Amino acid sequence: MKTYHSARDKLNHTKKCRAQRRNGGFYMGMTMTQKILAAKSGNEKVEAGQIIMADVDLVMGNDVTAPVAINEFCRAGCDRVYDRAKVVFVLDHFAPNKDIKAAQQCKQVREFAGEKGILNFFDVGEMGIEHALLPEKGMVIPGDLVIGADSHTCTYGALGAFSTGVGSTDMAAAMATGKVWLKVPSAIKFNLTGKLPKNVYGKDLILHILGMIGVDGALYKSMEFSGDGVESLSISDRLCIANMAIECGAKNGVFPVDEKTLEYVKERSSRAPVVYGADEDAVYDQVIDIDLSRVKQTVAFPHLPENARTFEDIHDIKIDQVVIGSCTNGRLEDLMVAADILKGKKVAKHVRCIVIPATQKIYLDAMEMGLIKIFIEAGCAVSTPTCGPCLGGHMGILAEGERCVATTNRNFVGRMGHPESEVYLANPAVAAASAIAGKIAPAE
């Protein structure tokens, strides 16, 4: 592995390697992301900054972004998608329909999916939050290249895939051709050691990282996680971390494929995974070492995910609402964590606690495990799967001056409603503990 003391050192080394390559000599090693992109673009080698045209394994859109892509697809005169099994539509943002506009958007996607024979179309009653649904359905495996017209498409890097968000016009082109143009990113390596303490989860780790590098700390870079600490992270932890790579400005986040990954995808997919790993001499812009045992329960204060604080710096902040769910933390493991805190307790009288299982399967599993009963007895409202409140859509809009602790991934101004409301990001245990306390509180 090659690291640099300055940008000039890196530039000089890059120039030297390019010159050697032109002479038929030395090649720089590739990162894990670059290995996938090389394979998908038919190149033996790719390097940071290179523009490539790559084959996609999956193209995904939702009820907000797909209508724009469909309009462009039709405007271009396209009459069929490149592969009916590799184009996916999930109605999850404003579904069940919150208003007439949402109903019209869902109708447009529904009709297009029917006309084009789309095999993977997920509507109310069988859908889920897209970035929880696709891994659950086994639609993404190691080595895949996935694009989606949603910024949190980077979630699937948790499974050793390259996945990233694109604009709706790029989605339209990929639906027609099965290809996407990309600029190959450089990378930051996060070397993880140790194990997370009790009631500290992947959400705390990514908020900790955001506190370290900021919302533009990995701008158009690949966040590549490695080290023996990865082994201790659950798949849910990894999905959460990769999901929020975009909050650091990253192009993608990616984890190495290990036994946990292979076991997870084997249970869900019959396709054979293709496992890529970084070369030993891969070049990184930066290497950051993190001892997981030193990570604490972390809360991101308004109005940026980088405003990370631990409970030494949090005092008596009264709240009005708690949201437990989203593509970041609505998985069964997250609901189990929240239910363990809420069992036998009551949500504070002045707090609205909304629990949103991320998929129908998670909802059913949670019901069969008795988690839904725990939530209702504690005074929570339990919703059908939806992105709803995360983006200020529905099912939990905030009024002026209200505060919410949420397991979602963004807390920008007005993100969950009124521009003078506040969103605090936290893990499911902290969210549940805060619902009981009526203020931001740690999970003991």
pLDDT tens, 50-89? 999 999 999 999 999 999 999 999 999 999 999 999 999 9
Residue 312's contacts (CB-CB under 8 Å, 6 or more residues apart) are: none
Position of tokens 């009288």?
A: 349
Average pLDDT over residues 162-166: 97
> How many DSSP H helices and E strands does the chain contain?
14, 18
Question: How is residue 423 written in tokens?
Answer: 């969103």
| Domain end point (choices 128, 163, 182) | 182
9 in any annotated domain:
no
In angstroms, the CA 55 to CA 40 distance is 5
261 in any annotated domain:
no
34 in any annotated domain:
no
Average pLDDT over residues 323-331: 96
3 or 149, higher pLDDT: 149
Task: Describe the chain by its helix, strand, coil percentages, rounded to 5.
Answer: 40, 20, 40
Q: Please write down the long-range contacts of 102-108, taking CB distance under 8 Å and 24 or more positions apart.
A: 102/63, 105/63, 105/64, 105/67, 106/63, 108/67, 108/70
173 in any annotated domain:
yes
| Domain end point (choices 116, 151, 182) | 182
154 in any annotated domain:
yes
Residues 105-127 pLDDT 10s = 999 999 999 999 999 999 999 88
Residue 219's contacts (CB-CB under 8 Å, 6 or more residues apart) are: 249, 250
CATH number of the structural domain spanning residue 370: 3.30.499.10
Q: Is the peptide bond prior to 428 cis by the omega test (within 30 degrees of 0)? A: no
> Is it the case that residue 249 has pLDDT exceeding 60?
yes
156 in any annotated domain:
yes
303 in any annotated domain:
yes
Question: What strands lie across the sheet with 298-300, from one edge to the other?
Answer: 308-310, 298-300, 422-425, 403-406, 321-324, 352-355, 381-382
How many domains is the chain built from? 2
Phi, psi of 266 (to 5 degrees): -65, -35
In angstroms, the CA 214 to CA 318 distance is 26
213 or 14, higher pLDDT: 213
- For the whole model, what pTM was predicted? 0.91
- DSSP calls for 96-163: TT-SHHHHHHHHHHHHHHHHHT-SEEE-TTT-B-HHHHHHHTT---TT-EEEESSGGGGGGGGGT-EE
Write out the residue range of the structural domain in which residue 109 sits: 55-182
Helix H or strand E encompassing 71:
helix 66-75
> Is it the case that residue 42 has pLDDT exceeding 50?
yes
Position of tokens 């897209």?
A: 130
pLDDT at 9: 56
Helix, strand, or coil (residue 411): coil
| Domain end point (choices 160, 182, 204) | 182
Terminal-to-terminal C-alpha distance of the chain: 40
Average pLDDT over residues 253-258: 97
Average pLDDT, the chain: 93
Average pLDDT over residues 166-177: 96
pLDDT at 28: 75
* Residues above pLDDT 90, as percent of the chain: 92
Q: Of the ranges 153-162, 242-251, 387-396, which one carries the lowest mean pLDDT score?
A: 387-396
Q: Of the ranges 14-28, 333-347, 363-377, 425-439, which one carries the lowest mean pLDDT score?
A: 14-28
How many CB atoms sit inside 10 A of residue 281's CB? 12
> Is it the case that residue 1 has pLDDT exceeding 70?
no
> Is it the case that residue 23 has pLDDT exceeding 90?
no
> Is it the case that residue 11 has pLDDT exceeding 80?
no
60 in any annotated domain:
yes
Question: How is residue 9 written in tokens?
Answer: 């050192």
Position of tokens 């929880």?
A: 132
In angstroms, the CA 163 to CA 155 distance is 7
Question: What strands lie across the sheet with 221-226, from one edge to the other?
Answer: 252-254, 221-226, 186-193, 286-291
